[in-house]
C-alpha cells in the first residue's frame, strides 16, 4: 500500500459513515499572535535558529487553524478526522490524524480496542488539546516538538485496558509504515522548539546554508520497511499517570529516494524510549518526560549515527480561568556536539469557552557545531515572546 492509498483509505473510512453516525461533533480552532523573536533566522526559513520564529518574523503572525470532526458511528466504532493549515514558509494543508477505532462494550475489567489510520502515538503528556495543541504553553517541549514533526502512526494498533479499583492499566502495540525519514530533522537541524505540527500532505522545512528553502515530506516510505511500537501506562484514582513507550521504525539506513530535483533523502533507522509521568497535587499539575534514543543513516562512503536525549519538567497551576505554567528542559545530540536547555513561562487566560489568550516567554541557550556553516558561533542564546489569541469552537 502506498502512503496516499493509506491516507485516502483512512479519510474515506472516517467520512463515509459520518452521515449515519449516532453522534457527530465538530471542533475548530484558529489563532493569531504577536511575536518578538531571536536574532537568528528560523529553520523554517532556512536558517540555523531552533525556534519557530526568528529575525525575519516579527509582529502579527498567523499561527494555525484546524477542524476536528469526531463521530460515534456505532456504540463500538469511533471515527476522527483532523484537517489543519499550518504556516511555515508557506501555508500547508495537511491531515495530522484520521482514524477509525473499534472498542466493543465490556462488562468485565478488561476492554480491547483496535485502531487503524493516521494517528499520534501515545507519547506526549502535554499535547492533549484540540488538534494536538498544548493547554499549558504555546510552544511544546523540544521532544514533543519533534514528535509533532516526524513521528506518526500510519498503520494499526491493538490496545488492552484493565480497570481496577485503584486505577487503570493499558498495554498497547502497533505496526507503522512511512516513518522511514524520522530522524532527518534531528540530524540536519537538531532539536527545535516549535508548535508547527506536520501531517500527511505537509512538508517540513530544514536549514539550508546555501540560502534556499529545503523542504521534505516527513511521512513517506524509503526502503519499504514496517516499524513498530509498544507501550504501557497506569492511571491511578489519585491523579497519577505513568507512561512508557518503545519505538523502532526499522528504517533501512542505506535506502534513499530523490526529492527536490536531484537531492537524496535517506531512511534513518530510529529507535527510542519515552518515559513520562503526570501528577496532580491540589491545583498544581506536574508533568515530567524523558526521551532517549539514536538514529542512523548510511549514504555512500560513510554512516552517520546520532544519539539523542531530551527531558523536561512542567508545572501548571489550574486557577479557574487562569493557568500559569513554567517548564524547564534540557536536550542533547552527542555526535554533533549539540547541548542546551530552555526555560518557558506562559500565562493562559480562558475568559470565554470560545477564546483563549496566552502570553509566553521562551529562553533558549544552546550550542551546536553546525552553526559555523552559517558563519555563526556555536552558541545560540535568545528569547522568543508570543502573545496569542486562539478562537475555539
Tell me the pTM: 0.92
pLDDT value at residue 45: 86
pLDDT of residue 6: 44
Each residue of 39-51: pLDDT tens digit?
Answer: 888 888 888 899 9
| Nearest partner of 359 among 369, 349, 368, judged by Cα | 349
Element (H, E) at 171: strand 167-176
Q: For residue 169, what pLDDT is reported? A: 97
Q: In the chain, what are the domains? A: 29-62+106-392 (2.40.160)
Q: Residues 6 or more apart from 304 whose CB is under 8 A from it?
A: 187, 296, 297, 298, 335
Which grid cell sits at 133? 495543541
Residue 88 has a pLDDT of: 80
For residue 308, give the C-alpha cell: 539523542
pLDDT tens across the length of the chain (393 residues): 444 444 455 455 555 555 566 789 999 999 999 999 888 888 888 888 999 998 877 889 999 999 999 999 999 999 999 999 988 877 778 999 999 999 999 889 999 999 999 999 999 999 999 999 999 999 999 999 999 999 999 999 999 999 998 999 999 999 999 999 999 999 988 999 999 999 998 888 888 766 666 788 999 999 889 999 999 999 998 889 999 999 999 999 999 988 776 778 899 999 999 999 999 999 999 999 999 999 999 998 889 999 999 999 999 999 999 999 999 999 999 988 899 999 999 999 999 999 999 999 999 999 998 888 888 888 999 999 999 999 999
- HSE of 194, CA atoms in CB hemisphere, 13 A: 30
Q: pLDDT for 200-257, tens place per residue?
A: 988 888 887 666 667 889 999 998 899 999 999 999 988 899 999 999 999 999 999 8
Q: What is the pLDDT of residues 14-28, one digit of tens each?
A: 555 555 667 899 999
In sequence order, the 6+-apart residues with CB closer than 8 A to the CB of 96 are 82, 84, 118, 120, 131, 132, 152, 197, 198, 199, 200
Amino acid at each position: 500500500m502506498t502512503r496516499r492509498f493509506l491516507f485516502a483509505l483512512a479519510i474515506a473510512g472516517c467520512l463515509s459513515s459520518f452521515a449515519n453516525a449516532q453522534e457527530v461533533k465538530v471542533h475548530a480552532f484558529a489563532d493569531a499572535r504577536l511575536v518578538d523573536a531571536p536574532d537568528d533566522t528560523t529553520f523554517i526559513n532556512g536558517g540555523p535558529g531552533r525556534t519557530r520564529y526568528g529575525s525575519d518574523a516579527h509582529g502579527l503572525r498567523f499561527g494555525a487553524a484546524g477542524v476536528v470532526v469526531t463521530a460515534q458511528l456505532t456504540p463500538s466504532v469511533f471515527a476522527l478526522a483532523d484537517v489543519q493549515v499550518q504556516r511555515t514558509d508557506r501555508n500547508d494543508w495537511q491531515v495530522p490524524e484520521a482514524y477509525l477505532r473499534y472498542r466493543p462494550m465490556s462488562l468485565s475489567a478488561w476492554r480491547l480496542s483496535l485502531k487503524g489510520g493516521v494517528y499520534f502515538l501515545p507519547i506526549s503528556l502535554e499535547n492533549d488539546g484540540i488538534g494536538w495543541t498544548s493547554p499549558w504553553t504555546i510552544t511544546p517541549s523540544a521532544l514533543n516538538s519533534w514528535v509533532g514533526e516526524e513521528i506518526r502512526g500510519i498503520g494499526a494498533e491493538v490496545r488492552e485496558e484493565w480497570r481496577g479499583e485503584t486505577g487503570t492499566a493499558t498495554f498497547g502495540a502497533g505496526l507503522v509504515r512511512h516513518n522511514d525519514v524520522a530522524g532527518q530533522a534531528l540530524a540536519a537541524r537538531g532539536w527545535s522548539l516549535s508548535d508547527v505540527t506536520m501531517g500527511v500532505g505537509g512538508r517540513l522545512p530544514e536549514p539550508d546554508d546555501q540560502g534556499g528553502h529545503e523542504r521534505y515530506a516527513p511521512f513517506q516510505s524509503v526502503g519499504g520497511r514496517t516499524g513498530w511500537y509498544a507501550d504501557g501506562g497506569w492511571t491511578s484514582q489519585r491523579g497519577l499517570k505513568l507512561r512508557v513507550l518503545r519505538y523502532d521504525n526499522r528504517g533501512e539506513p542505506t535506502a534513499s529516494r530523490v526529492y527536490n530535483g536531484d537531492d537524496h533523502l535517506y531512511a534513518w533507522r530510529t529507535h527510542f524510549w519515552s518515559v513520562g509521568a503526570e501528577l496532580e497535587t491540589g491545583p498544581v499539575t506536574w508533568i515530567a518526560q524523558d526521551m532517549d534514543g539514536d538514529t542512523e543513516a548510511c549514504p555512500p562512503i560513510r554512516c552517520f549515527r546520532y544519539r539523542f536525549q531530551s527531558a523536561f519538567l512542567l508545572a501548571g497551576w489550574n486557577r479557574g480561568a487562569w493557568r500559569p505554567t513554567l517548564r524547564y528542559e534540557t536536550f542533547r545530540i552527542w555526535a554533533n556536539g549539540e547541548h542546551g536547555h530552555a526555560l518557558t513561562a506562559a500565562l493562559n487566560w480562558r475568559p470565554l469557552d470560545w477564546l483563549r489568550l496566552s502570553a509566553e516567554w521562551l529562553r533558549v541557550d544552546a550550542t551546536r557545531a553546525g552553526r559555523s556553516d552559517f558563519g555563526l558561533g556555536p552558541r545560540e542564546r535568545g528569547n522568543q515572546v508570543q502573545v496569542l489569541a486562539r478562537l475555539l469552537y
